[in-house]
């Protein structure tokens, strides 16, 4: 009798474990679908809730005078004197920069091809200043690169 019970319970156990395995696979598929659905919904909610900012790009009016001491020298002081502090030409320290630029043939017309403008727009120096600062330097050169 004991053998019969054992024989009956083994197939029942096997059927039950197969059914449980199928249920587990189905649960695994459902949970993967749930995770993917959650991630998609969370991404949509995240991007839909972000505030949209707009920034106006600052420009320089080419008609306005650009002054060396108040507009150009601060650009050099903030961005350039780490390297150009007397050991590398041009010397862009305050008090030396105008002479260094004009006697070193860095500013000449046409402004777009002057050594200074070509250098600050080259790939090696492009990231050191903002586009509006480059525009100010270009206009200053176009206006005759005066020490004003």
Share of the chain above pLDDT 70, in %: 74
Model confidence at 8, pLDDT cuts 50, 70, 90, reads low
Confidence of residue 75 (pLDDT cuts 50, 70, 90): very high
Q: Is residue 18 part of a domain?
A: yes
Residues of the domain holding 32 = 1-54
Q: Is the per-residue pLDDT at 134 higher than 70?
A: yes
34 and 81 in a common domain:
no
> What is the number of structural domains in the chain?
2
On whether residue 60 sits in a domain, the answer given is no
pLDDT tens digits for 93-112? Answer: 999 999 999 999 999 999 99
Residue 30: the pLDDT is 66
63 in any annotated domain: no
Q: Please tell me the distance from the alpha carbon of residue 115 to that of residue 137, in angstroms, as a whole number.
A: 12
Asked if 102 and 137 sit in the same domain, the reply is yes
Are the C-beta atoms of 98 and 147 separated by less than 8 Å? yes
Please tell me the total number of residues recorded for the chain in this structure. 148
């Amino acid at each position: 009798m004991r053998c019969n019970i054992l024989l009956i319970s083994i197939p029942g156990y096997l059927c039950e474990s197969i059914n449980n395995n199928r249920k587990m696979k189905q649960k695994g598929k459902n949970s993967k679908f749930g995770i993917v659905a959650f991630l998609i919904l969370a991404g949509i909610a995240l991007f839909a809730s972000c505030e949209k900012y707009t920034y106006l790009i600052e420009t320089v009016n080419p008609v306005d005078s650009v002054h060396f001491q108040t507009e150009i020298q601060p650009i050099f002081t903030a961005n350039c004197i780490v390297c150009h502090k007397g050991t590398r030409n041009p010397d862009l320290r305050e008090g030396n920069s105008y002479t260094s630029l004009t006697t070193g043939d860095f500013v000449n017309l046409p402004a777009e091809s002057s050594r200074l403008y070509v250098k600050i727009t080259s790939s090696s120096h492009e990231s050191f200043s903002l586009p509006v600062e480059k525009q100010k330097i270009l206009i200053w050169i176009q206006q005759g690169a005066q020490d004003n």
